[in-house]
Amino acid sequence: SQQGEEDPQALSIQEGENATMNCSYKTSINNLQWYRQNSGRGLVHLILIRSNEREKHSGRLRVTLDTSKKSSSLLITASRAADTASYFCATSRGDSWGKLQFGAGTQVVVTP
Amino acid sequence: EADIYQTPRYLVIGTGKKITLECSQTMGHDKMYWYQQDPGMELHLIHYSYGVNSTEKGDLSSESTVSRIRTEHFPLTLESARPSHTSQYLCASSNRGGQGEKLFFGSGTQLSVL
């Protein structure tokens, strides 16, 4: 069954706007990661947040983690057309070392 | 850019054929994985390996098999392909253990079985 579940399923914004997507999961985790996938390609790692962290930044990306609510959010600020992609959250559990469980992703379209 | 390569990029074959999807990485990673992804859906882990001569089945049952004879090479084989095997297959690798493990993915093989 699906561990991570992204919301919304799809998001359409204009260049310069911020994009926010959320991920909810079911069981306790060691860390949560976000990946980007361009159409028909493999996934690229964006950012990792550990279970004892609440917020992390990387360039235009901001990730939050609320373990009490079992949820995370990814914010992309000042979006660009090149940010058009699907974004997946993935969780790592203590009893499944090294194996990630992915959600179905949020499809983001950024129009010029 | 990740140094992990998958071939072929696209494969269209008839039912009953034996196929092998190739995956190689030049990063010296111990751990390698195969994920299966249908359009608009989550990735499902079908096989993984923690090193040479180590292979395990993943969360999603698959009729495919894998081998890990060399660190850099993790091929996936289907003995008799069926239309239900049509999907995208993504290979990945990782190195660091513990809690800080991120995956490096290949570009995937899109398999269509007619």
Residue A54 sits in a domain whose CATH number is 2.60.40.10
Q: Domains (ranges, CATH) in chain B? A: 4-96+105-113 (2.60.40.10)
Residue numbers of the domain that contains A67 = 4-111
Q: How many domains is chain A built from?
A: 1
Question: How does pLDDT run across A56-94, given as a tens digit for each residue?
Answer: 999 999 999 999 999 999 999 999 999 999 999 999 876
Q: Which residue has the tokens 């570009």?
A: B107
Q: B6 to chain A: which residues are within 8 Å by CB?
A: 42
**B99 to A103: CB separation less than 8 angstroms, yes or no:** no
Cβ atoms of B30 and B23 within 8 Å: the answer is no
The two three-digit tokens of residue A27, written as one number = 């069981």
CB pairs under 8 A between A and B: 70
The nearest CA of chain A is from the CA of B85 a distance in Å of 17
Question: How does pLDDT run across B17-75, given as a tens digit for each residue?
Answer: 999 999 999 998 999 999 999 988 889 999 999 999 999 998 888 889 999 999 999 99
Nearest CA in chain B to A36: B105
**B58 to A40: CB separation less than 8 angstroms, yes or no:** no
Cis ω before A8 (30° cut-off from 0): yes
Question: How does pLDDT run across B7-18, given as a tens digit for each residue?
Answer: 999 999 999 999
User: Kindly report the CA angle at A42 between A13 and A96, in degrees rounded to 5?
Assistant: 105
Question: How does pLDDT run across A25-53, given as a tens digit for each residue?
Answer: 998 888 899 999 998 888 999 999 999 99
How is residue A108 annotated by DSSP?
E
Reduce the DSSP state of residue A59 to 3 states and report it.
Answer: coil
The answer to whether B29 contacts chain A (CB < 8 Å) is no
Strands A10-14 and A106-111 come out as parallel
For B50-110, the DSSP string reads EETTEEEE-SS--S-EE--SBTTB--EEESS--GGG-EEEEEEEE---TT----EE---EE
